[in-house]
Amino acid sequence: MAATIETIPAISLRSPQGEFRNTAYIDFNNPENARAMREALRKVHAQLGTEYDLVIGGDMVRTKEKIKSLNPAKPSEVVGIHQKAGAEHVEPAMQAALKAFESWRTTSWEERASLLLNASEIIQSRRLEFNAWMVYEVGKNWVEADADTGETIDFLEFYAREALRLSRVKTPVQLPGERDELLYIPLGVGAVIPPWNFPFAIMAGMTSAAIVCGNTVILKPSSDSPTIAAKFVEVLQEAGMPEGVVNFCPGSGGTFGNALVEHPKTRFIAFTGSKEVGLDINQRAATPRKGQLWIKRTVLEMGGKDSIIVQADCDLDAAVEGVVASAFGFNGQKCSACSRAIVEESIYDVFLERLRDRVARLTQGDPLENKNTGPVVNEGAMKSILEYIEIGKREGRVISGGARANELGDGYYVQPTVIADIAPDARISQEEIFGPVLAVIKARDFRHSLEIANNTEYGLTGAIYTNNPEKKEIAKRDFHVGNLYINRKCTGAMVGAHPFGGFNMSGTDSKAGGPDYLYLFTQAKSAAEKVTR
């Protein structure tokens, strides 16, 4: 890591400047912005291959086993070399976090919020560099990377303000002769286990929400994106974070991760990832261990099989744009991505024709060149997606893509793929693929469309394109998803405006980026004092 313990400053106190406002995106059509982004890419390229230590309390730790983070567009290129935490590192990390918790829990809300604001300021000053790290490490194009960095800034700014609000909460009733208080106190030491697809925003969002509430954290980033997490820990150190508040421990989920979840002193687990891993964490966390005093809290954001309903009364061109953006933005590697377009039969054929034409205009290639779509994250993901495409060929009719993009070299490129005439219960209609594969399903009418949309085990995001006011209201009531969008794409949740989290097997409906989120990292304590005169 760049910072050493001796150089970490005390937290400089800052207050939020005005009301929360979402970060504006950078316009890369502006030649000056494009030039600056290319310069950031060159600067970051010079740092590729750096080795990073575990950070456990005040110690920088190296291990025999390493994690190599690779550029998915050029797998021969090593982005970062990381130590691989094993089960033997759980206890030292836990003890460091427990020690830090004793002082961090009593640190004022204002100081903890200031840490987030300081970190936000640092990230804003290096925004293009963080964008560049995501271009190299997970294959995001410039726009997707900038949206990720912008959301990171938003989470820090929003949670700092929410923390100050939470510190001033009052009871609804003050009884005569009493002083009644409602205090939100931290839980303890938590495990934060983020995904690779939003390697900055989700990782930083879960971490910052936990620590601003007075908890300490053991951060186990995805093995596909540990470098971005390492850079965030460096930012927190620079911003004034005390030793042990965030302990940086990349490692295997099956060894380090499971041991961390099962540790009797782990108070909560914040996880974003697949349904299978989330359910396993939930089960492990539900089993009390020797010496455990609490029911572990789990904050689980899992998968999705998200649908966009397209009605005959909609703006069809807008619907096509929304479906394409939702299905193929970041190559479909979003839990919110549209993987099913449910189209009313009277417009089905014309929709397919316009959809095929729009997908054909997408550019694919190295994210360094800011193409519309790039590689998927790793070889295993590519193989899995291609297997699903083969299943889809048997279940429907391929109208776009359908193969690996071999002409683009050794990167993990899969063509944006559209498969039409899919049955509602087909495998590619039910199973999360997490790649650039869209199933198109024909529906008889609006009610049939809703029935299909609700026929999976998930319930994360969804959208409907219609100009009918009654259909909009019915969708709000009956389209069973945590995030519903009307006449817009089903991806791109904005902090503060679209609190994010889903129903059913999509998770615990955590509503990240909303006014309820920090409650998940606190426990409410009522204090009533009799007032004597």
Which positions are annotated as active-site residues? Answer: 301, 335
C-alpha gyration radius of the chain? 23
- Helical H runs in 263-315? 275-286
Q: In whole angstroms, what is the distance from residue 373 CA to residue 365 CA? A: 7
Question: Tokens 């999509």 correspond to what residue?
Answer: 506
The three-class DSSP label of residue 227 is: helix
Residue 509's φ and ψ, nearest 5 degrees, are 55, 55
Output the CA–CA distances (angstroms, integers) from residue 117 to 105, 146, 199, 433, 498, in the order listed.
18, 19, 20, 37, 22
Compute the Cα dihedral for 21, 465, 416, 423 and give only its sign.
positive
Measure the CA–CA gap between 296 and 279, rounded to whole angstroms.
Answer: 14
Cα–Cα dist 272/275, whole Å: 9
Amino acid at 66: K
User: Which amino acid would we find at residue 367?
Assistant: P
SS3 for 453-477 is: HCCCCEECEEEEECCCHHHHHHHHH
- Residue 486 DSSP class: E
